[in-house]
């Protein structure tokens, strides 16, 4: 494509193809090249018509070369085509191409950026920039803050710097939180980094709103109270406390904390808990792996509750409790490899529930339980609820060993000859 002139309307059309692509939606117009093309058109088809522009070339005064000027005249106007959302930066002269007020620029969706300057000069240096300008430009570039979404164009130097900082500062894609020794602040790439953990959960959420990482590494001893929908969050650490705060935790991943308390909501993708301690919690369906329990876990909604290689850490006659709840129904519980004790409450109290367990220890079926349960392993059972137990137990009951058909073991011993007993003993 090339520049065209509608001699009837006096509109000069400059196509995007004649512009210099810079990046994204930004283009640059070489105004001197446009001038030369206009002169070529005037010398051909434009001979009968008025000139389109007035030109004053570069002028050197006392060793300084001042930029040329180009002025659209005689009622002509300029239009950048196509009419779309992109920007054009005018370069190479002081000009009036951008003048909407006086009808020079046909205003459409194209944004035109003027660079006129009373001191615009041309130098013989590389790129037409004098040495001091080079120093000033370099300083301005390196000192420019990388904030928000600025300087983040694909494949740009700004993007590369961001990627380096993200990989180091937000190591592994985590925002770092330490509620004991962190620093308050919400400046991205400064706060919440591995070198400078953020102090509060509120600041961590603010950073995440800008960064979109959804992953948090929690410092030792920190206490986190959820204050907003935490679905899809990754909460990772060692020796920290999580207070659920009544928030949604659909698809949330939690690992390494020494205490989870409170109530959470859900019903979507189950949260996954690994290596955690749960005490007195009310939860939607979840998956717990290598977790330990004290207090009561109460089901809040129907669905699958899965316990894999988990155990109770209560001491004495107490034991961990799973409560099917009086408001929830159709709750399915599977405990694989459970160790130590567990008490089951409200099984089939509000609907049709299931309970399957493998492992060893003690099971207490409370009086609020009913229906059929499935257990495999070595269990001491207290069944006050009258549940029907379907057992698949390959271990041998100790009492049956001591039982001799028709006679107890002490009676059998009494029948052994005395001299044989003396030999045995």
pLDDT digits (tens, 9 = 90+) for 38-53: 999 999 999 999 999 9
Mean pLDDT of 60-64: 81
Answer yes or no: do 345 and 392 share one domain.
yes
Answer yes or no: do 102 and 225 share one domain.
no
The 3-state DSSP class for residue 209 equals: helix
Answer yes or no: do 86 and 21 share one domain.
yes
Q: Is 418 a member of any domain?
A: no
Residue 327 has φ and ψ, to the nearest 5°, of -105, -20
Q: Is 145 a member of any domain?
A: no
Mean pLDDT of 62-79: 90
Q: Are 235 and 254 in contact (CB under 8 A)?
A: yes
Question: What would the pLDDT profile of 302-352 be if each residue is shown by its tens digit?
Answer: 999 999 999 999 877 889 999 998 877 799 999 999 999 999 999 998 889
Contact residues for 289 (Cβ-Cβ < 8 A; gap 6+) = 272, 273, 274, 275, 308, 309, 310
Answer yes or no: do 134 and 246 share one domain.
no
Cα distance from N-terminal residue to C-terminal residue, the chain: 113
Answer yes or no: do 198 and 286 share one domain.
yes
Answer yes or no: do 74 and 118 share one domain.
yes
Answer yes or no: do 293 and 399 share one domain.
yes
> Residue 131 above 80 pLDDT?
no
Answer yes or no: do 130 and 244 share one domain.
no
Q: Is 116 a member of any domain?
A: yes
Q: Is 196 a member of any domain?
A: yes
Cα 113 to Cα 51, 304, 315: the distances in Å are 25, 61, 75
Answer yes or no: do 213 and 358 share one domain.
yes
Task: Please report, to the nearest 10 degrees, the dihedral formed by the alpha carbons of residues 132, 136, 137, 139 taken in order.
Answer: 140
**Domain assignment of residue 392, given as a range:** 173-412
Q: Is 379 a member of any domain?
A: yes
Q: What is the mean pLDDT of the chain?
A: 88
Where a domain ends, among 116, 139, 162?
139
Where a domain ends, among 85, 114, 139?
139
Split into its structural domains, the chain has a count of 2
Give dist(CA 50, CA 10) in Å, integer: 10
The CA angle 95-98-99, to the nearest 5 degrees, is 95
Answer yes or no: do 79 and 184 share one domain.
no
Answer yes or no: do 243 and 119 share one domain.
no
Q: Report how far Cα 327 is from the mean position of its chain's Cα atoms.
A: 34
Answer yes or no: do 250 and 119 share one domain.
no
Q: Is 21 a member of any domain?
A: yes
HSE (side-chain half, CA atoms, 13 Å) at 238: 0
Q: Report how far Cα 184 is from the mean position of its chain's Cα atoms.
A: 21
Please report which confidence band the pLDDT of residue 120 belongs to, taking 50, 70 and 90 as the band edges. low
Q: Is 163 a member of any domain?
A: no
> Residue 138 above 50 pLDDT?
yes
Please report which confidence band the pLDDT of residue 396 belongs to, taking 50, 70 and 90 as the band edges. very low
Q: Is 165 a member of any domain?
A: no
Where a domain ends, among 121, 139, 157?
139
């Amino acid at each position: 494509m090339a520049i065209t002139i509608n001699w009837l309307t006096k509109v000069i059309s400059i196509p995007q193809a004649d512009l210099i692509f810079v990046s994204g939606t930004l283009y640059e117009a070489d105004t001197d090249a446009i001038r030369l093309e206009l002169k070529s058109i005037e010398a051909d088809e434009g001979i009968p018509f008025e000139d389109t522009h007035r030109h004053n070339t570069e002028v050197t005064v006392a060793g300084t070369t001042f930029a040329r000027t180009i002025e659209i005249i005689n009622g002509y106007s300029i239009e950048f085509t196509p009419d779309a959302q992109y920007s054009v930066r005018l370069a190479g002269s002081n000009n009036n191409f951008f003048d909407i007020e006086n009808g020079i620029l046909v205003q459409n969706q194209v944004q035109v950026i003027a660079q006129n300057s009373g001191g615009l000069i041309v130098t013989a240096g590389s790129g037409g920039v004098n040495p001091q300008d080079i120093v000033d430009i370099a300083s301005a570039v390196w000192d420019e803050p990388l904030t928000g979404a600025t300087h983040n164009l694909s494949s740009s130097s700004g993007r590369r710097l961001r990627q380096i900082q993200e990989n180091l500062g937000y190591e592994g894609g985590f925002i770092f939180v330490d509620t004991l020794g962190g620093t308050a602040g919400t400046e991205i790439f400064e706060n919440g980094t591995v070198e400078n953990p953020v102090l509060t959960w509120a600041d961590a959420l603010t950073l995440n709103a800008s960064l979109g990482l959804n992953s948090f590494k929690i410092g030792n001893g920190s206490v986190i109270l959820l204050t907003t929908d935490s679905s899809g969050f990754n909460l990772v650490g060692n020796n920290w406390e999580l207070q659920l705060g009544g928030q949604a935790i659909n698809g949330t991943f939690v690992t390494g904390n020494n205490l989870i308390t409170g109530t959470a909501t859900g019903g979507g993708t189950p949260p996954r808990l690994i290596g955690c301690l749960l005490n007195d919690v009310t939860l939607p369906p979840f998956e717990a792996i290598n977790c330990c329990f004290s207090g009561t876990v109460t089901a809040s909604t129907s669905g699958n509750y899965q316990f894999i290689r988990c155990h109770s850490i209560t001491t004495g006659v107490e034991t961990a409790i799973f409560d099917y709840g009086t408001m929830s129904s159709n709750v399915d519980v599977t405990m694989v490899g459970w160790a130590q004790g567990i008490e089951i409450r409200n099984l089939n109290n509000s609907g049709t529930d299931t309970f399957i367990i493998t492992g060893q220890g003690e099971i207490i079926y409370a009086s609020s339980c009913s229906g059929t349960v499935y257990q495999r392993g070595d269990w001491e059972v207290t069944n006050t609820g009258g549940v029907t137990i379907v057992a698949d137990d390959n271990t041998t009951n100790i009492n049956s060993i001591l039982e001799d058909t028709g006679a107890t073991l002490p009676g059998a011993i009494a029948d052994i000859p005395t001299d044989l007993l003396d030999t045995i003993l």
